[in-house]
Amino acid sequence: MMGERQAVAAFAALGQEHRMRIVRQLVTAGPDGMAAGMLAEAVGVSGTNLSFHVKELTHAGLVTSRREGRSIIYSAAYPDLSELIQFLMRDCCQGRPEVCAPAVAALSACCKETSRWTS
């Protein structure tokens, strides 16, 4: 379970425009991730800037990387991103489920749309 310190580090890493774009692009890319060059192009940064931003996101536990041949493939760290969402929503409704209903509905719709990853 994510604690406050980890959540603060994650939000600090996401509190920069390019980093937010990187994470959103990787979430959209799915579990297979994206090659560094394609990711840099998609978010509009140079390779050097991408490395800088990904380092911060990796330290925050939001992005992972792996080598495939000569390429570095970056992926969203879905378990940690899920924990971040859970951290925010953990005490959400305080016995009033209608407070959380919009967020739950949005996540449910999102998950139906991303079922293409499991095909």
Q: What is the pLDDT of residues 66-89, one digit of tens each?
A: 999 999 999 999 999 999 988 888
Question: How confident is the model at residue 119, as a pLDDT?
Answer: 45
Question: How confident is the model at residue 70, as a pLDDT?
Answer: 94
Question: How confident is the model at residue 106, as a pLDDT?
Answer: 80
Taking Cα atoms as reference points, which of 107, 70, 82 lies closest to residue 31? 82
For residue 115, what are its two tokens? 């079922």
Q: Is the distance from CB of 25 to CB of 50 less than 8 angstroms?
A: no
What are the helix (H) ranges across the chain? Answer: 4-14, 17-29, 36-43, 47-59, 78-89, 97-113
Asked whether the CA dihedral 33, 24, 16, 88 is positive or negative, the reply is negative
Which neighbouring-strand residues pair with 111? none
Position 11, amino acid: F
pTM: 0.83
Pairing type for strands 34-35 and 63-68 reads: unpaired
Position 36, amino acid: A
d(CA 36, CA 20): 16
The fold adopted by the segment(s) 4-79 is: Arc Repressor Mutant, subunit A (1.10.10)
Q: Is the distance from CB of 42 to CB of 34 less than 8 angstroms?
A: yes
Q: Could you read off the pLDDT tens digit of each residue along the chain, which spans 119 residues?
A: 888 999 999 999 999 999 999 999 999 999 999 999 999 999 999 999 999 999 999 999 999 999 999 999 999 999 999 999 888 887 777 777 788 788 878 877 776 655 554 54
